[in-house]
Structure 1
Amino acid sequence: MPAVVQRRARHPHPRPARRLPRGRADAGGGLVNFRKPTGGAIDRNTLLRFTFNGQNLTGHPGDTLASALLANGVHEVGTSVKLGRPRGVVAAGSEDPTSLVQIEAPFPEPMLLATTVELYDGLVARGLAGQGRLAAEPDPARYDAKHEHCDVLVVGAGPAGLVAALTAARSGARVVLVDEQNQAGGALLGVDEYLDDRPSAEWVADIVAELKSTPGVLVLQRTTAFGMYQDGFVLALQKRTDHLGFAAPASVARQRVWRIRTKQTVLATGAHERPVVFANNDRPGIMLASAARTFLHRYGVLPGSRAVVFTTNDSAYCAAIDLAESGVDIPLIVDARHEAPLRLATECAARGIEVRAGHVVSGTEGTGRVTDAHVAPLDGVAGHRDTVVCDTVLVSGGWNPVVSLFSQARGKLRYEAELGAFVPGEELETVRVAGSATGELDLTACVRQGRNAGASAAISAGFTPRGQVPLPVSDSRCTQRSGLVLWRVPGDEDASFVDLQRDSTVADVLRATGAGLRSLEHIKRYTTIGTAHDQGKTSGMIAAGIVAEALGVELADQRPTTFRPPYTSVSFAALAGRDRGELHDPVRVTAIHPWHVAHGALFENVGQWKRPWYYPRPGEDLHTAVLRECRAAREGVAMMDGSTLGKIDVQGEDAGKFLDMLYTNMMSTLKVGRIRYGVMCGVDGMVIDDGTVIRVGEKRYLITTTTGNAAKILDWMEEWLQTEWPHLDVHCTSVTEHWATIPLVGPKSRDVLGSVAPDLDVSNEAFEFMTWHDTVVAGVPARVCRISFSGELAYEINVTAWHGLAVWEALMAAGSAHGITAYGTETMHVLRAEKGYPIIGQETDATVTPQDLGMSWAVSKKKPDFIGKRSFARAENGRTDRKQLVGLLPVDPAVLLPEGSQIVETDRLPEPPVRMLGHVTSSYPSAALGRTFALALVRSGHERIGETLYVPVEDSLVPVTVTDSVLYDKEGARRDG
């Protein structure tokens, strides 16, 4: 919101202006003595020490880093990102385009605005050249999120927003008031005004006190509404504070994202003052007039000692008068209008301030900070000019209503020529706009709008307003309605900066229009104007005006660039909230995990699970340990923790029919007590997962999925049930963590199982392959399945997770006489690869069908339909040169092919491009085969069995023989022991 321009005169005999001493240079080159001895909403009794660019400086609670720097005479904050030109403070809030800093201590945090960083003791910061650095160490701060529901949300605690919130609150509505400042008041915080014959701060305090004491009202300061979405959903970021009441250091500070759902919204978001572009308008010491007034009244800081004021409207006169009364030498007000406002010009003359109408600032001089301003007639800029010595130039080119949230709510904007800005152009059913966000810049009118908006929002939310909030009485001295719309002053276009953060100039804009660009969206991307942290708050409207002038079109016919959230920069940490580390990606462990840790297992991450990778003994590396584990599984007995296997309970009258549609093969014909392997495909016919289906009862199945796809497959099933087949009587429940699953593998597995399950007949005749039995294992109720993912005689023992560790230890004890060995995922991969069993996601990608894997037998030719069936009829799926799963045997049996290696036809590589036949998907040394081997996807692979192909490895081509994908026990004789 603009600096409110109402003021009740308190000096009937204005003091003559006095020259403030330039200040003395400190050791670091900064200037001191720019803090007024009194005034400002700061705690002068408390001293805060901070460091900036290596200088030790001081400030007070209530300061921002920017105000503290200015108080110490430090105007140069950083340098521009492309040209390296010095940059200072331009504004006093989130609209500032230049004062980017890096916080170094107590915790590194990049790309923050000095104007929004509240000062605290021990702060260490440095200026940036547009780029910061992320911390190398973990952030100790905590971030969280909270949900809030209300009837009326009011954004902005300026005069209009306060009255809107109070009106709605008195109706009985639940109200949330959010405001980005650390205290309510909006533009009143930056002025020295009286309302109803008392300081405006008292008027604000009374309203806030009533709001906070009203049940159902939530007032959130330091909270920026940064995104507005459908159905009354608003995101807001709150910077929380410590017990001292000012911003806490990063080590203990917390940020909270509020997720607010509201019936009605009142946007009292105010307006930003915009500059005028002229040559060398980017020097430190050049700032917005309203910013100087804010630094004066809110922080007790003078922007400089001698200031030239350049304006196109009345509001800058108030800043000039206030600064002059505080001791700043104001030699000249340069008013671009041909006639200056008589009453204001008279007040200025009484203070020794010259007003020069019909003139502009055409350029500046200075190394670093501005030292001189060039003043010339508006109609003859290229002619005679005067040079005025100054250390500050204050600029006011009008006001841009903050319409970001309104636009995000899909509200249409219209151009108002008198303001030179876009304003809300329609009424929305659930959104009202009040105050200077509408383009209305008179205080009384703004407050009236706020009252009406609050009442209207309350009524629409179902409440009846009770009593009208009285409008404050004030005198209007300055208005912006009489302003002149002026985008730029003719001059050096390469040094006339439109976007100070991006170093984008008038020349860049004209270069874009000269290249044929017409859309503001295209020009924005060509010039990068408005793409920095400030999102074009001060530059966007100016760029639009310059484009319109260059193209000879009306701004009313131009569509403004899209306002996208976030309105201000939001850290990823805040968006993540508490979802960081294990809270973001939880570490899941099985019930048997403590045993694996105690016995030296090394782990790999599979999805979110920690799975034993292998169990090295002293002196063993990965390959040695895995070969030992493989021999145990093939020759004796071994077992692994398979509890991470995805398990989904499917129940209901239509469960069988549903599974028939999910899997490529038939499941409804499966008998109770039997198990069937199945493949799932996407709608494109490509394999997405595989696993087993166990029929538990007439209306109940238990399906298994790969570990990493468990959540994905459950979501896939629910999507089809809820969107395509809601008529089916089916319920799906994840039971992955309910069961501990222990595969017991090897020729001696029958002996071990029989010793701990005396009631279970483990013979082949009584316990057939792909069947299951409920029994008791080691004194624990268990479901035992005859399933093998290794090709060996094997059993999967399932018990409740509570008993998983006890059963595991019982099996280890029972198998000790047979040399039982625990094995991990690497051994599992070798065992299944020797048998040609694919791992979905390793032997497959998004282009592999069951037929490519040699699994045509798993695709039903009887079922009328299933997911993916129609895609198998595509010509693409019938191509003979599709990549197919095969085995590869290196001619040298000791060579281990790197996984992912490409495969070519010849032993000599031709000039690029080289035709690749496929790639290696899995590659291992094998104890059973006595050599290395690999699986691969190869074009026309099934037809190439017996051929010699080549795999580029480093600087050589390794010859390999193509084989069937099943390399061990092709007859399956070992399955039954």
Structure 2
Amino acid sequence: MSGRRLSQGGLIDRSRLLRFRFDGRDFTGHPGDTLASALLASGVRVMGRSFKYHRPRGLWGAWFDDPNAVFNVRLRGDELPNCPATTTALVDGMQARAVNAWPNAENDLKGGLDLFHRWLGAGFYYKTFMWPDWHLFEPSIRKMAGLGAVDGKAIDGYVADQLHDDCDLLVAGGGAAGLAAARAAAEAGYSVVLADDHPTLGGSLYQGDEPIEGEEPQAWVAAQVAAIRAAGGRILTSTTVFGLYDHGLAALAEDRGFARAPRLWRLRARRTLVATGAMDRPITFADNDRPGVMSLQGAAEFLGRYGVLAGQRIAVLSNNSHSAPIVARLRAAGAEVIEADPAEGAPRALGGKRLSGVQIGARKIDCDTLLVSGGLTPTVHLWRHAGGKLDWSAEKAAFVPGAGPDHMLAAGAANGTFDLDPALAEARAAALGTPHATGASGYRVRPLWPQPGSKGRQWIDFQHDVTLKDVELAARENYVSVEHLKRYTTLGMAADQGKTANMAGLAAMAAIQGRPIPEVGTTTFRPPFVPVPMELYHGTRRGQAVNPLKRLELEPQHRAAGAAMGEYGGWLRPAWYGPEDQSAITAEVQAARQAAGVFDGSPLGKIEVMGPDAAAFVNFIYYNTIATLEPGHIRYGFMLRENGLIFDDGVIARLAEDRFLISCSSSHVAGVEAMLESWRQDGNDPDRIFVHDTTQHWATITVTGPQARAIVAALDTGADPATLAHMTLTEGRFGDSPLRIARVSFTGDASFELSVPASRAADLWQAVLAAGTPLGARPIGLEAMSVLRAEKGFIMVGKDTDGETMPHDLGFDVPRRKKKAAFVGDRALQTEAANAADRRQLVGLRVADSGTVLPTGAHIVTGDGPQRSIGFVTSSYFSPTLDRPIALALLESGQQRIGDRVQLRHLGQSLSATVTAPCALDPEGERLNA
């Protein structure tokens, strides 16, 4: 035996030595170790500091139940924060440092905060830092808050695979019950996935030497694994089922080692069996947080899996029958073990940074380690994730799974069946769906809960420094709900999510109130079950993969023409052509108004809705009446959310009686398609309505301006633009390709949208420019188009609307009053809020000084008394056409304020403007047909 490492036993590979550093000191371990087991084997006691008082903390548990040892870990240039030492596999060359400690866990300078604990009780920050101003204290408090430090550069390269799969039965937990259930189901022909968070299956079987079904634990586990695989079952080790969601969805985190990013499994299981075992509960007594006070089961795990003795002279405090075999094994491993009954008197841990003994009533026991077991608590988190209820078992002094969804099962210790043979029988029956009667339990426990009024500092939440006195204080201040208790004291909000603290906390609250524990209830269990790396959620979504930039078919042509490319709504599009200054945009606006502008409108949505019920469907989707639209005609309209707010605007064309083409905003195509699909499947026959996004199949080139009709006429399309009325559509040919010509305007001038298959975009672009250049036409970018539409008072959804805008705020009130057919959002438009007189409405703004362009976002404020915002500028430009600034705004009761002078504020600057109608150019619409 070297240090506390035994010369034999455990699941580690003693033939290889791994070197690592912790808090600047060198240590060694073996393959199969965790950081915690290697440090414990080397005699390290202090592995962390508590969050609030910076008290020294040692190991409590051996796996996910340990709240104390949390490290920042670096390996070959990569660093990850907040790694639990008990679940982080040791790798050669690791450098670990305890979080929340400086310069190290052993000697933390902030440990002096504990001297002030009398004034730093629960809720002290709520009471102390309100006067004179919270913001004076906020910077310092934020610096002290948090646990790990994130090195952004170190994790830049981390990505995580995300996999999707399904199975008949998901077994969460690879202990005895999980293995037995998985084998029974696999051999019965079910598709089985067994997931366990350890690299080696077996669960708590290694805590004792007892054989299982006549075999040694390792041999039995190997036999089950071989049988499961032979029957076609799949086994995922080092994989945590961290959340259960609706419709049988399970989220699994597969840990592939520190040097490789984890994988996220989204697994849909027709049935899920929770076989997650049980946790050992702490016993609450004075100074029970000293390094050296550990879980009895945790010590058994360190011995069985890693060949490490928790101490040499060990005292054991236990209130249940499961302690006897563990005590026997500790003695067999060479430890001196003194058993004590916590009922002999109020225990008190002795010592400072290291435990020196325990006082129990008049009896003092000298020891270097105190192992405690306050009873077993089934690990029911996943059961609660899926909506399962909990029942209180007085016999077991624990909550156990109660009624649950039909697809959920529980077996073994997770179900409160703590004896091995009954657990195996229960698991096999559950896996096969056969009846099973649970026999009498051999487990015995004497309830041992916190006693209000006890002397000394008795710790309930080790990481967050919540004591029994904090719970008593919360009760005195009327925080009697466990949910309120949690938030007021932060009990159960540590990295272990209350796995060690919740039962003691709610038991203390029950005792204070004089109520039974089940009446107090439990806090809400939420995923993830254990902390999981952030990269797990983003997967490969980083950089361009977060929201892949869409590229235009005509990008080479735009670049050749000198386009300044920019990202607009997820598309890389021309902002303008030529030098990077306002003059290029001005020239494009003037060309479009005086001759013609040629604009690449390909990103505009082109979603087709087809089928026998298509007409009724789009009439329901749109705020405007679409049922009366005739084939070949186009109508402008809005799509609303169910709350009546504007989701998108655009035009819809009727191609045939049963076929419609929706042209939505470029940035909303995916959202509109998702909305259409959602409603298609809700209350409709999906076999009579079909939605197909053809946006990237078609390229669209818009020609707008006085010469637009002449340019289109010069193309050999087979259609006469002179006969095409505004808001109509016709079909023609461009060479041997189909061509759609839509008479739609976003500028207020005569405009034609020409759409061809994307493969013919370059040819059409060249043909349009060849016909238009002699007439003064030129390409225009999105910035010029934005000015052109603002001159006419045309909106951009998301820019000239906000999260409260309804159609009548923009002047479109008729459908709300007269449309008889139901539509999305109809009821919301009749609410009191929708009819409020002070709603923000779209208006224009005009400034007296022709050189002042109002800042976008500037607030319109009240003029009298304390100023408040009554609106804001949504769009603002200098109009080359009008030779003056123009602006659009949302203003309270805006339509009633036209002609009024209003005040604006922006970053300390005072401005003024006159409220006008939104349309600043050609309000009669004469240019549209010029």
Q: TM-score, normalised by structure 2?
A: 0.87
Q: CA deviation at 1:329?
A: 4.2
| CA 1:809–1:480: 2 relative to 1, 3 Å | farther
Residue from 74, 79, 83 that aligns with 1:108: 79
> Counterparts of 2:397 and 2:645 in 1: how far apart (Å)?
57
What residue in structure 1 maps to residue 593 of structure 2? 634
| CA 1:262–1:660: 2 relative to 1, 3 Å | closer
Counterpart amino acid of 2:196? D
SS at match of 2:696: helix
What residue in structure 2 maps to residue 574 of structure 1? 536
Q: CA deviation at 1:317?
A: 4.5
Residue from 348, 373, 380 that aligns with 1:396: 373
What residue in structure 1 maps to residue 202 of structure 2? 185
| CA 1:758–1:259: 2 relative to 1, 3 Å | closer
What residue in structure 2 maps to residue 352 of structure 1? none
What residue in structure 2 maps to residue 14 of structure 1? none
Counterpart amino acid of 1:237? A
SS at match of 2:228: helix
What residue in structure 2 maps to residue 775 of structure 1? 732
> Counterparts of 1:959 and 1:359 in 2: how far apart (Å)?
79
| CA 1:775–1:494: 2 relative to 1, 3 Å | farther
> Counterparts of 1:524 and 1:872 in 2: how far apart (Å)?
41
Residue from 339, 361, 365 that aligns with 2:347: 361
Are 1:949 and 2:902 matched, yes or no? yes
Q: Which piece of structure 1 moves more, 104-113 or 203-212?
A: 104-113
> Counterparts of 2:310 and 2:819 in 1: how far apart (Å)?
84
> Counterparts of 2:299 and 2:405 in 1: how far apart (Å)?
36
Residue from 29, 36, 40 that aligns with 1:70: 40
SS at match of 1:537: coil
| CA 1:128–1:970: 2 relative to 1, 3 Å | same
1:668-692, CA deviations, whole angstroms, 9 ceiling, x for partnerless residues?
A: 4444333332334455554433222
> Counterparts of 1:275 and 1:510 in 2: how far apart (Å)?
19
What residue in structure 2 maps to residue 341 of structure 1? none
What residue in structure 2 maps to residue 261 of structure 1? 269
1:174-211, CA deviations, whole angstroms, 9 ceiling, x for partnerless residues?
A: 32222221111111223334446653211221222222
1:599-635, CA deviations, whole angstroms, 9 ceiling, x for partnerless residues?
A: 5544444433233323341xx32x3332122122122
| CA 1:719–1:496: 2 relative to 1, 3 Å | same
Counterpart amino acid of 1:566? P
> Counterparts of 1:865 and 1:455 in 2: how far apart (Å)?
49
Task: Point out where structure 2 has 5 or more consecutive residues left out of the alignment.
Answer: 101-145
Q: Which piece of structure 1 moves more, 734-743 or 692-701?
A: 692-701
> Counterparts of 2:446 and 2:614 in 1: how far apart (Å)?
74
> Counterparts of 2:320 and 2:822 in 1: how far apart (Å)?
74
Residue from 74, 94, 98 that aligns with 2:68: 98
Q: Which piece of structure 1 moves more, 879-888 or 216-225?
A: 879-888
1:468-525, CA deviations, whole angstroms, 9 ceiling, x for partnerless residues?
A: xxxxxxxxxxx98344322347887562110101111111111122233433333233
1:785-812, CA deviations, whole angstroms, 9 ceiling, x for partnerless residues?
A: 2222112232211111122233223333
Counterpart amino acid of 2:410? V
> Counterparts of 1:290 and 1:834 in 2: how far apart (Å)?
75
SS at match of 1:640: strand
Counterpart amino acid of 1:548? A
Residue from 250, 255, 279 that aligns with 2:286: 279
Are 1:969 and 2:922 matched, yes or no? yes
| CA 1:554–1:58: 2 relative to 1, 3 Å | same
Aligned pairs for 1:367-446 within 5 A: 368-370=353-355, 372-377=356-361, 384=362, 386=364, 388-425=365-402, 429-446=406-423
Q: Which piece of structure 1 moves more, 85-94 or 549-558?
A: 549-558
> Counterparts of 1:796 and 1:428 in 2: how far apart (Å)?
55
What residue in structure 2 maps to residue 734 of structure 1? 693
> Counterparts of 1:685 and 1:177 in 2: how far apart (Å)?
47
What residue in structure 2 maps to residue 35 of structure 1? 5
Q: CA RMSD in A?
A: 3.1
Q: CA deviation at 1:94?
A: 0.8
Counterpart amino acid of 2:341? D
Q: CA deviation at 1:68?
A: 1.2
- Are the equivalent residues in 1 in contact too, given 2:860–2:869 (CA < 8 A)? yes
Aligned residues: 880
1:320-365, CA deviations, whole angstroms, 9 ceiling, x for partnerless residues?
A: 44334434444x322225xxxxxxxxxxxxxxxxxxxx35631222
Q: Which piece of structure 1 moves more, 524-533 or 813-822?
A: 813-822
Residue from 322, 336, 341 that aligns with 2:342: 336
What residue in structure 2 maps to residue 149 of structure 1? 166
What residue in structure 2 maps to residue 801 of structure 1? 758
| CA 1:624–1:779: 2 relative to 1, 3 Å | farther
Aligned pairs for 1:684-699 within 5 A: 686-699=645-658
SS at match of 1:646: coil
Counterpart amino acid of 2:605? G
Q: TM-score, normalised by structure 1?
A: 0.83
> Counterparts of 1:783 and 1:812 in 2: how far apart (Å)?
18
> Counterparts of 1:374 and 1:709 in 2: how far apart (Å)?
67
Q: Which piece of structure 1 moves more, 65-74 or 145-154?
A: 145-154
What residue in structure 1 maps to residue 480 of structure 2? 518
Task: Point out where structure 1 has 5 or more consecutive residues left out of the alignment.
Answer: 1-19, 21-31, 241-247, 338-357, 378-383, 461-478
What residue in structure 2 maps to residue 310 of structure 1? 317
Q: CA deviation at 1:640?
A: 1.8
| CA 1:697–1:207: 2 relative to 1, 3 Å | closer
Aligned pairs for 1:621-770 within 5 A: 621=581, 623-682=582-641, 686-726=645-685, 729-757=688-716, 759-762=718-721, 764=722, 766-770=723-727
> Counterparts of 1:556 and 1:864 in 2: how far apart (Å)?
52
Q: CA deviation at 1:537?
A: 1.5
> Counterparts of 2:387 and 2:827 in 1: how far apart (Å)?
41
Counterpart amino acid of 2:162? A
Are 1:44 and 2:1 matched, yes or no? no
> Counterparts of 2:18 and 2:173 in 1: how far apart (Å)?
29
Aligned pairs for 1:613-628 within 5 A: 613-617=575-579, 620-621=580-581, 623-628=582-587
Counterpart amino acid of 2:201? A
Counterpart amino acid of 2:739? A
Q: CA deviation at 1:568?
A: 1.7
Counterpart amino acid of 2:228? L
1:56-114, CA deviations, whole angstroms, 9 ceiling, x for partnerless residues?
A: 32221100111111122222222111111112211001111211122233422222211
Are 1:175 and 2:175 matched, yes or no? no
Counterpart amino acid of 1:210? A
| CA 1:281–1:802: 2 relative to 1, 3 Å | same
> Counterparts of 1:578 and 1:588 in 2: how far apart (Å)?
18
1:819-841, CA deviations, whole angstroms, 9 ceiling, x for partnerless residues?
A: 54322222111100101112222
> Counterparts of 2:282 and 2:600 in 1: how far apart (Å)?
68
- Are the equivalent residues in 1 in contact too, given 2:61–2:298 (CA < 8 A)? yes
What residue in structure 1 maps to residue 96 of structure 2? 125
Q: Which piece of structure 1 moves more, 85-94 or 410-419?
A: 410-419
Q: CA deviation at 1:398?
A: 1.8
Counterpart amino acid of 2:291? P
SS at match of 2:606: strand
Q: Which piece of structure 1 moves more, 289-298 or 778-787?
A: 778-787
SS at match of 1:923: strand
| CA 1:783–1:431: 2 relative to 1, 3 Å | closer
Are 1:238 and 2:222 matched, yes or no? no
Q: CA deviation at 1:220?
A: 1.8
SS at match of 2:348: strand
Which has the higher relative contact order, 1 or 2, with Cα contacts under 8 A spaced 6 or more apart? 1
1:205-253, CA deviations, whole angstroms, 9 ceiling, x for partnerless residues?
A: 1222222222x3112222222233455443332223xxxxxxx333x24
| CA 1:692–1:494: 2 relative to 1, 3 Å | farther
- Are the equivalent residues in 2 in contact too, given 1:365–1:373 (CA < 8 A)? yes
> Counterparts of 1:316 and 1:753 in 2: how far apart (Å)?
90
| CA 1:76–1:602: 2 relative to 1, 3 Å | farther
SS at match of 1:307: strand
Are 1:589 and 2:551 matched, yes or no? yes
- Are the equivalent residues in 1 in contact too, given 2:158–2:535 (CA < 8 A)? no
> Counterparts of 1:272 and 1:875 in 2: how far apart (Å)?
54
- Are the equivalent residues in 1 in contact too, given 2:452–2:512 (CA < 8 A)? no
Counterpart amino acid of 1:363? A
1:689-747, CA deviations, whole angstroms, 9 ceiling, x for partnerless residues?
A: 32222232233222211222333333444444443454995433222222111111233
